[in-house]
Every structure is written in C-alpha cells, then in structure tokens.
Amino acid sequence: MVAFEAVIGLEIHAELLTRSKMFCSCPVVDSTQAEPNVAVCPICAGMPGTLPVINRQAVELALRVALALGCQIHPVSVFARKNYFYPDLPKGYQISQYEQPLAVNGILPIETESGWREIRIRRVHLEEDTGKLSHVHADGEVYSLVDLNRAGVPLLEIVSEPDLRSAQEVRAYAQTLRILLRTLQASSGDMEKGALRIEPNISVRPAGSSTLGTRVEIKNLNSFRSLERAVAYQIEVQVGKLSRGEVVEQETVGWDEAQEITFSQRSKEEAHDYRYFPEPDLPPLVVTPEWVESIRAALPELPWERQRRYVEALGLAPAEARLLVSDPALADFFDRVVGALKRAPARMAATWVTGELLARLNEQGQTLEVLRLSPEGFADLLDRTVEGQINLNTAKGVLQEMCMSGKPAVQIIAERGLEQVSDPEWIARIVAQVLRENPAELDKYRSGKSTLFNWFYGQVMRLTRGKANPQMVREELTRCLEDQVRGES
C-alpha cells in the first residue's frame, strides 16, 4: 500500500484595525452590530468619478506584520483591479495587489509535535473587503440583501507556501498567526465576526513525491476547530480517492459544521477569470527605507521569541509559557508582574497567572482590562506569600478580594487579620489541643489509619482560621503523632 502525504498552503485574510476604510474616510464599524449601510460614501459605494486614497495606517499595520514575518518589503508596490461581478462588490472590481505585492518571502515559526518548524510565507498584500450579503427566503420569495458597511475595510492577505503537512500543523499555523496579529495590534483576529478568514488549499501525493497533486480549497471556516476538522476530513477524502485509483477534481468546497463534511461549491470549469490589471486610479505605493526602519525598530517582542524567553530565561514550564503567549494581553500582564517582583520567582508568578488568575477571569467571564488588579499589586501579594506573611491558601482568598475591591493585599491582610503566625509555642499549643479533643480519631490513627493526618491538619488550620504557618503545623503534627504511635508500641 502506498503511503500518502498532504500538502497544504493557507490563504489568510485579516481585517486591519484601522479607524477608517482602506481607500475612503468612512468609519470602520462592527458589521455584526451596526445598522446596515451607515458607513458608506460615494467612494466605497463605487460611484463614478470618485477616486481612492490609500490609508497610511493600513500600510503601517501591513508593514508591521510583514516585518514580523521577516518578509522582504517592496519599496514600490502596485495596486491592481480584480474584476468580477457580485452584488457585494459595488465597483465590479476589488482593489487588491497582484504582480507587485507589498511584501514577499517571509517565515512563520510554528510549534509542532516534533518541535519547531519554519513555514514559508509567499506574499503579504493589501486589499479591500467586500460588503455583506444576506440570503433571504421569506413568504415564497427568494432574494439577497446587500450591506456596504464592510465594503472597503482594509484587508491584509497572507499567503503561505504549501509547507504544511497535517491538520494539526494547519491549526498551529493559523493560531500562531492570530497571536502575532494580536501582538502587533494589527487585527482583532476574531474569526466569528469574520475579522480573520482562513482558506486552506489541500492536495495529497504519494509520500516522498516532489510533484503537487490537484488541490481543493475550503471556505466558510469560522473557528480553529472547524479548520482542523475540515482539513483532516478533506485529506481523508483525497487519500481515499487516490487509493481507489480515482482522481481528485480541482474545486472549491464549503464546510458543513453540523454534518462535519465538505461539500462542493465551485468546480474548475466555473473558475473565475479575474482579468487583473494595474489600478489606473492609484499611482504606485512607495514605502521609504526610513519608514520601514522606524516600524522595524518599534516592533514588540514576537510571540515565538517571548515563548523562548519564558522557558530559557525565566525557567517556566513549556505548557505555561505556551498558555501565556497565546494571549498577548495576559502575557503583557505577566511581564509587568515579573518586573515588579522582589522576592517571589517568575515561575511562581506564571503558575498564579495561568492558574488562579485565569480561573478567576474565566469564572466571571471577565477580561484583564476590567479587572481591578494591578500587576504591581499582584506581585506584592506573591512577595508577601513567599516571605511567609500569609500562607498559600490565604493568598488565594486575598487575590479574590483584590480582584473585586481593588484594595491592596496589605490592607486586606490587616483588615481581616490574615497574617500568618509562625510562633512555635502557639502552634504547639493548638496541635496539642486538637489531639486532646479528638481521642476517637487519635485511636484510629494509632491503629494504622494514617490518612487521618490530613484531617488533623485541617482541624488545626480551622482553629487558627488559616493563619498558622502550614509548614510548621505539618512539622509539629508529624512530631506529636509519631510520639503518640511510639507511646503505644
């Protein structure tokens, strides 16, 4: 039996986070929230006699992404018309870039099961989004409605080389790219709102072959989960066909979320003929070396660099590093906590941020921005815990109150009398009291039920309202119980 391998390339469209549209000053509105056709002007409505003017910020954001991907920037790039008729495209063409895109030849590092891989980026270019179409079946009538709010919103198209080999790698690539877009504040990356659209091209060939098979493109994927499943499904379909000696037809397919299958949308015979030609309304886009260098100099730490620093310099567990990096806002918060720590180690901060803090955020469906917790205050809490001023369990309660009230840890500890007590005589007295008041449990312990240790420990902590130094309680309890057992034998 012949082994097959999948060859997959990705085309990704990301809406850029500008305030106005790509070629006109219309505001960019949330197309899932705004009333239809409230952000439309003669330019984005495709009125005759209007002229497009390029949004500088869209170019800036595109350059940011291209540079982060290590692309070569074209000092002069050209916009082109991509011609086709569809009601969501008012002009009858989309302004895009074709022969001379803004940037080419980049790399996106992704982490796979077998380590890091570098996926080559073929091109990064700017274009404009289309309007939104709704298909209506009502009262025996069938028609479509067109909302042009989104028409002309800047889009960044990022095309990879066919370097991906599995559905898992496709997902890793898409997720890494989204983290990058968010880190650079270039796009919201929100797939459900359509701000990030991922279109994989999949072909299959005998393993080791260097020729490419016929490719199938998948559209309508609105989550990473659908992406991974649709790609896995499509690979299986193609391997099945080739194994049976059938051929794969070139086509575009959609993903049926409910049935988890792909269905044909367009075959090769109906493929578009876009008749690209240079956009006569826009002179070439010139990007000066000074502009490029100023953007390069202002790039933040990139996600894969950050992940390496967390593991290599801060000693975090790889899983924690990955989790932090996956959320740029959380990682920024973590970095500020680490910067403010005086005694607690960074590893402890990572455990707390990815554990307690994340749990609290998820529980309350909150984001870091609304949380009344400063990184400095959080660092102070961890320092106090390490210093032994409060114990770990108490610290969790203090964190909860800090998040809700915004009070500093020191105030909560004082007000609630939570300060940890490490007085050995006081602890010895309470341990003795607990043993004295629970003769039945003590008998059971002596007769071999050693799991009662934790029960005694719980009793001591309850009596001290959680303030006793846990380490000292354990030591004292161990000593007393051993005495008891020895006294028996």
Residues that bind other proteins in the complex, under the rule CB under 8 A: 18-20, 24-28, 35-42, 44-45, 53-59, 76, 78-79, 83-87, 133-135, 142-148, 265-266, 273, 275, 278, 280, 282-286
Q: Which is nearer to other proteins, 240 or 283 (CB)?
A: 283
Residue-by-residue DSSP string for 307-330 = HHHHHHTT---HHHHHHHHTSHHH
CB-CB neighbours of 95 under 10 Å: 20
CA distance 218 to 215: 10
Q: Which is nearer to other proteins, 89 or 390 (CB)?
A: 89
- 187: buried, middle or exposed (CB in 10 Å: 19+, 13-18, 0-12)? buried
Minimal distance, residue 119 CB to other proteins, in Å: 30
**What phi, psi does 436 have (nearest 5°)?**
-65, -40
* C-alpha distances out from residue 78 to 16, 81, 100, 279, Å: 19, 10, 5, 8
CA distance 428 to 431: 5
Nearest to 198 by CA among 216, 168, 220, 213: 220
CA distance 428 to 438: 16
Q: Which is nearer to other proteins, 287 or 381 (CB)?
A: 287
Minimal distance, residue 24 CB to other proteins, in Å: 8
Minimal distance, residue 47 CB to other proteins, in Å: 9
Q: Which is nearer to other proteins, 219 or 396 (CB)?
A: 219
CA distance 63 to 187: 13
CA distance 85 to 92: 5
Q: Which is nearer to other proteins, 92 or 424 (CB)?
A: 92
Minimal distance, residue 180 CB to other proteins, in Å: 21
Minimal distance, residue 83 CB to other proteins, in Å: 8
Q: Which is nearer to other proteins, 169 or 199 (CB)?
A: 199
Minimal distance, residue 49 CB to other proteins, in Å: 14
